Amino acid sequence: MENHFTITISDDHGVKQYNLHHFVKKAILYASMFLGFIAFVATMTILYLNYEVEAIDVKRMAMQKSYKEIEQKNRELNDNMNATAEVLLAKKEELQRVSQSLSDIETLIGLAPVEEMTLQERVDIAKLSSEDMATLLQFIPSGSPVRFEGIGGNFGRRIHPITNKIEYHAGTDMKAEMNTAVNATADGIVEFAGPDGKSGYGNLIILQHNYGFKTYFAHLNKIVIKSGQFIKKGDLIAYSGNTGLTSGPHLHYEVKFMARVVNPIWFIKWDALNYKEIFEKENEIPWQSLIKATAHIKVPIPTQAQPLSQSARP
């Protein structure tokens, strides 16, 4: 009986005994130990896998967070790129407008831009030419001496409205109501300011300008400057009136070059918009010499002339 052992089982039906061999006992023991080992390994594997799954889940969440951050940065970068593109487009359109405006100015002052020139080079050249233009317009009579309301009497031969005789009208009669402000049309010095009883001009102002030019303002009601006074273009010099030999209030305006009368209308209409036209209208004046003589002179703040309506332009 050494190689056997007995298993006793009790139940409601009685007691039963089973005799088992020791080999079976060892087999059961080994099987139990194996199953225990398998259970331990399985448990440890499950625990390790759970740990790995949790670690992977942590990494996945970190990657999702990083992905969302990258998405947000990409959206911000895309927004910045779109905003930059809009700014660049606006700047491009602005440069095109500037270039077109510069082309208009170049055409106005007679420049022919070279294709290889940069925009800055074109601006510099246009600036020099516009400065020369501003100098001439400052020192030589240009623009209207009164608010332009039209012409009442033209330059040249006509029938005098008072004497009814044919005469040579040396100036232009500009429409102006009583006491309309009269302004100097160029820098200069007052040669004469007062009543003139010889020519029918009434109250008269004569301004002497640079380079042989003079301007006459006649039939004035009130003079506000004195002889010998230096005058800047645009300064108030008098108020229009009806003095002297005249049929009604207006301003008689004359322009002379080297004691020779010239047609004032071209000087009245002379400004930056039709800068070159006067060179053709008054071709007896040595314009090229004047331009060379004034090329070294720069006017810091040019004076703006009285504005003309579109209908008043040539």
pTM of the model: 0.59
For the chain, the C-alpha Rg in angstroms (whole number) is 52
Query: What does the pLDDT read at residue 254?
Result: 95
CA angle 304, 210, 307 (to 5 degrees): 20
Q: Is 110 helix (H, G, I), strand (E, B) or coil?
A: coil
* Token output for 96: 């095109």
Query: What does the pLDDT read at residue 170?
Result: 83
Locate all alpha helices (DSSP H) within the chain, ordered by sequence. 22-108, 119-139, 264-268, 277-281, 287-294
Mean pLDDT by 10 residues, the chain (314 residues): 61 67 69 86 88 88 89 90 88 78 58 59 57 83 91 76 72 92 95 89 95 95 96 94 89 93 91 80 84 76 58 41
Q: Which amino acid is at 17?
A: Q
The dihedral through the CA atoms of 270, 274, 275, 278 has a sign that is negative
Query: What does the pLDDT read at residue 127?
Result: 55
Q: Beta partners for 194?
A: 204
Query: What does the pLDDT read at residue 119?
Result: 63
Cα gap 194→178, rounded to integer Å? 18
Q: How many residues does the chain have?
A: 314
The dihedral through the CA atoms of 240, 246, 249, 254 has a sign that is negative
Locate all alpha helices (DSSP H) within 112-270, ordered by sequence. 119-139, 264-268
**Could you tell me if 168 and 155 are in contact, meaning their C-beta atoms sit under 8 angstroms apart?**
no
Cα gap 225→217, rounded to integer Å? 12
